[in-house]
Amino acid sequence: MARRTKKNQKSQAKLEGYVVVAFAEDIEQAREYTTLLEANDIHAVISEHEEQSTGSNEIAVMVPEEYLDEAHVVIESQQAYDDFYDFALDEEDDVDFDGDLFDEDM
């Protein structure tokens, strides 16, 4: 049985009542999620856990359980917004302006 350190016990006590709202690919994305949630009056924390089987780090963004549904809506709305503008920018790059559109007859 693994011993728990005092630091580990404190962090676990701090996260009591919190649930995972999203897993981030990296710490920067996790910070973006927490900033977004905080801007919408939802307290969020980042929790990093080392995965024993793979040896990789798992980065979770956590919120109080009573705000879970609202947090999902905020994150999904932001992702839809980002996807829309990514699509719009991709479409803009595909447009070929050959100058005919802007020719004026004088």
pTM of the full structure: 0.63
CB 44 within 8 A of CB 77: no
**pLDDT per residue of the chain (106 residues) written in tens, 0 to 9:** 444 444 555 555 567 899 999 999 999 999 999 999 999 999 999 998 776 666 667 899 999 999 999 999 999 988 777 767 677 776 655 555 555 555 555 5
Cβ neighbours for 50, distance < 8 A, ≥ 6 positions apart: 56, 57, 58
- Output the pLDDT for position 78: 85
- Output the pLDDT for position 1: 43
CATH topology of domain 10-94: Alpha-Beta Plaits (3.30.70)
**Extents of the domains making up the chain:** 10-94
